[in-house]
Amino acid sequence: MDTAGVLSSTDENFGQAFYVGAYEAPLTESESELDAEPGWDECWVMKGPSIKIFVTENVSDEALDAVAGILKIMTNALQPALDPVTKNPSSKFNGFKVYITNEETGDELKKLNTVGQMWEDGNGKKSRNYLLGGASKDFLWITEQMICTTGIVGRNELVVEDKDKDTSYRSFDQVVHEFAHSIDAMFDLQKANGNSKVFDGAIGPVEGFAVAVQYWFGVLSPGGTISAQQRTNLSKVFTTQVDFRTEGYGE
């Protein structure tokens, strides 16, 4: 891991690097009243697949572009065999919803459609104040607080002892991780190809799969590896292995 937080590949398995910070997403702002959801400032729509991205007024254009770019790459990289009928698995994500927040308090998050119903009230480690994200087959929630940062300020305000402080560096970890959960749920991957055994471990197969996908796309800090069997199974999910790089983001 270099000083810019870029994961360098030494196994030559990564494909072409994708410079997320230099990407401007092909997004269209939705003017449809059907897309309006309570509490959200804007709704943007991607093309191919037509994913809807909802943002609060605190979310930067850079974060919006980064998220859209990463989702575009990940959906386009899905193996055709995942959808034997159409051979176009990315189309499964037409109408999928992404919610992006940034620095809202738990009480503010509670007022937002969908996000407000996730996790618990209060300040514990299962509260929306602490977890700041989640995913399902139909939508995911991420926060700009976790994009290209070291430590999460809002999370650290909830802990008393320094040993519990969040000091981890993140590049685009949360974006990839949460969308990996959605891919897992969309195609029921834990029941396919013995994935539950391949990705199981101390954190369980569901989280194990999402973490392995982070390694696949080069966004886990510090740098690490995935097993040969995990790589084989991930190659049944993705056609390419892209290195998401952070240069240009936040500059």
d(CA 250, CA 237): 31
Asked if residue 10 has pLDDT above 70, the reply is no
- Comparing 242 with 193, which gets the higher pLDDT? 242
Asked if residue 125 has pLDDT above 70, the reply is yes
Chain-wide mean pLDDT for the chain? Answer: 86
Residue 204 vs residues 182, 201, 209, 240: alpha-carbon distances, Å: 16, 5, 9, 25
* Amino acid occupying residue 177: H
Count CA atoms closer than 13 A to 107's CA, side-chain side.
0
- pLDDT confidence of 15, banded at 50, 70, 90? low
pLDDT tens for each residue of 224-241: 678 888 899 999 999 998
pLDDT tens for each residue of 165-211: 888 888 999 999 999 999 999 999 987 656 778 888 778 889 999 99
Token digits for 43? Answer: 């709704």
- Comparing 158 with 98, which gets the higher pLDDT? 98
DSSP conformation class of 214: H
**pTM of the predicted protein model:** 0.90
- pLDDT confidence of 73, banded at 50, 70, 90? very high
Let me know if domain 20-191 sits in CATH 1.10.287. Answer: no
* Phi, psi angle pair for 4, to nearest 5°: -90, 0
Number of C-beta neighbours around residue 31 at 10 A? 8
Parse the chain into domains and list their residue ranges: 20-191
pLDDT of 101: 96
